[in-house]
Structure 1
Amino acid sequence: MTSLPQSERLLAVAKMAAHSVEDQLRTAFRSVMAFDTKRDFHDIVTEHDRASEERIASVIFREVPDSAMVGEEGGRRGSGNVVWYVDPIDGTSNFARGIAYWCVSIAAAVDDEIVAGVVFDPMAGNLFSASLGGAWLNGRPLAAQAFAEERQATLLTSFPNARNINDLGAMVYGCQAELLRAFQVTRNLGSGALNLAHIAAGWSDATLGLSTNPWDVAAGILILRQAGGRYCGFDGGIESEPTHLASDYFATGGGADYPTLEQVARTLSAQTATRHRHTAGART
């Protein structure tokens, strides 16, 4: 069981690591930059992603030597009791094109429990953070209050994206139509971590993600939950723990009852898993 002082110490390190790349990223933003592709041309990486992850790693291993780190760019490194999940730039496509909706996401886990997390938006000057003692925005307590019904609510989601269409085909459009009809507003802003942080702040109401990675969501999960929100992770349409390792999710602010969102998330998660199993079977 992680103590509150240990959680707060890890949060202080996460903040230190996030601030260590602030000047570098602010200077690079809206400059001319080259980028490479990873999985396909929709999935890009810049030199600043890699350099920022290295700087974050240097802070983490200096301050907490008993650490392992799982980063989007460098994979897993080190070994220790504390596991860090790091996305140096969540929303790289936005960052590379000069759209100011991207962030640095850093979380610390002990025994598969997220105990500290930071989502840092350098351009807006917003530092969302959480320990086992609460959640804050620039030092002020957060309250993730949402509208009670979907018809009043704003949904932030990158669904459907190209990967979802490749995985599921035309069914994604039916699910998208259900969400568009159910919610007052839907927006695709391009950063899952920042979406969760905005819900924690009460600036939006809900989000949905498929085929995600732990570095995208780990910090945001703790921030949202400590602010009073709900995060539900799925694997194959079944609720899964620990949630930061689940492939799919939906999340809401406090006081929300969004049955369409929950049903769509379960259905998409189940169908994605089924399609992947069939694809893997066809290749063997």
Structure 2
Amino acid sequence: MSQTSPNSSSIDNEYFRPQYQHESFAGELVGNPYYDDLTLALSMANAADKVTSARFGALDLHVEDKPDHTPVTDADRATERALRNVIAENRPGDSVYGEELGKAESTGRRWILDPIDGTKNFVRGVPVWATLIGLEVNHELVVGVVSSPFLHNRWFAVRDGGAYMGMDIDHASRIHVSNVNELKHASMSLSSLSGWKERGDRDKLIELTDNLWRLRGFGDFWQYMLVAQGAIDIAAEPELDLYDMAALVPIVTEAGGQFTDLEGNPGPWGGCGLATNGQLHAKVLEYLR
């Protein structure tokens, strides 16, 4: 028997239907104190897209196993190098925390980079991967850019300036999380189940998913962006690094959502992540804490 769709009239008042119409937000954002950083981050994404797009599907792509048994390619390193070059030229006093080429402590301003989030997809030819660019200022995430050229999409946000989907400030749509407020009407995405087993929480997770409307595995950055744009309502992962989350946090929160670790502590500092539309956050934590 098929489950009831949240398009049914019984919950029309709480089911959010995203509407996208690209327009310019430059006039609205130009006064934001991090406007210049946002425009720089978007230009960094352009530089990254050139590298990643050229290497995706390349027959001579070089792949190695890192000590944690995750893959790294020549494209990962080349992309991070390109991003670091832009930072060195434009923000020479800022520190950089990157997945492949060094994790510096913050100097007050720190760029947090994942050159290719979804490297396993990248290696196998699955077009769901992205470059993640976050800016941390005084331990607060103030800018986030997620660029996925083979999904033909980009998401970005700036502190107190909203969250957007589009290639740049002049061609974007404002995005917002859903209004779903009951788990039985909620859609959730996961990356895998293995990490939950290692954490000892897989049974709790399965109990949660048994009480949802829908479960899918979009994975990696994409599930968090789908939360931010209101297409799904919950995304969670039990094992993450700072570079996996830093760019995501401003986008989810500026879209009206909530991003914490699995204990409910705000931000990307806990080594794991839970993003929701906010209305469902406490209910999800009741299962996963």
TM-score range, shorter chain: 0.7 to 0.9
Structure 1 residue 123 corresponds to structure 2 residue 150: yes
User: Cα 1:126–1:135, aligned 2, differ >3 Å: closer, same or farther?
Assistant: same
Amino acid at match of 1:187: R
Contact (CA 8 Å) 2:111, 2:133: kept in 1 or not? Answer: yes
Amino acid at match of 1:100: P
The 5 A counterparts of 1:72-87 are 72-77=99-104, 80-87=107-114
> What runs of 5+ residues in structure 2 fail to find an aligned partner?
1-29, 167-171
Normalised to the residue count of structure 2, the TM-score between the two structures is 0.80
Deviations 1:80-130 (A, max 9, x none): 431011000011101111111111100001100011110111112211011
Contact (CA 8 Å) 2:51, 2:78: kept in 1 or not? Answer: no
Deviations 1:116-168 (A, max 9, x none): 1101111122110111211111121111114222222221112423x443x34
The 5 A counterparts of 1:214-229 are 214-229=242-257
Moved over 4 A (4+): none
Quick one: percent identity of the two aligned structures? 26
The 5 A counterparts of 1:129-140 are 129-132=156-159, 133-138=161-166, 139-140=172-173
Deviations 1:18-75 (A, max 9, x none): 110212211222233231112444x111111111000011011211112000001112
2:218 aligned counterpart, secondary structure: coil
Q: Which residue of 1 aligns with 2:213?
A: 184
Deviations 1:176-205 (A, max 9, x none): 4213312222222331x2221111111111
Q: Which residue of 2 aligns with 1:205?
A: 233
Q: Which residue of 2 aligns with 1:251?
A: 275
Q: Which residue of 1 aligns with 2:190?
A: 157
User: Cα 1:208–1:257, aligned 2, differ >3 Å: closer, same or farther?
Assistant: closer
Amino acid at match of 1:229: G
Q: CA RMSD, aligned part only?
A: 2.1
2-structure distance, mates of 1:6, 1:201 = 24
Paired positions, count: 253
Structure in which a larger fraction of residues adopt helix: 1
Q: Which stretch of structure 1 is more off in the superposition, 84-93 or 119-128?
A: 119-128
The 5 A counterparts of 1:22-41 are 22-32=49-59, 33-41=61-69
Q: Which stretch of structure 1 is more off in the superposition, 122-131 or 173-182?
A: 173-182
Amino acid at match of 1:155: M
State the shift of 1:4 in Å: 5.8
1-structure distance, mates of 2:83, 2:281 = 38
User: Cα 1:218–1:36, aligned 2, differ >3 Å: closer, same or farther?
Assistant: same
User: Cα 1:131–1:125, aligned 2, differ >3 Å: closer, same or farther?
Assistant: same
Q: Which residue of 2 aligns with 1:282?
A: none
Normalised to the residue count of structure 1, the TM-score between the two structures is 0.82
User: Cα 1:58–1:164, aligned 2, differ >3 Å: closer, same or farther?
Assistant: same
Amino acid at match of 1:61: A
State the shift of 1:10 in Å: 1.0
2:143 aligned counterpart, secondary structure: strand
1-structure distance, mates of 2:122, 2:287 = 30
State the shift of 1:233 in Å: 2.2
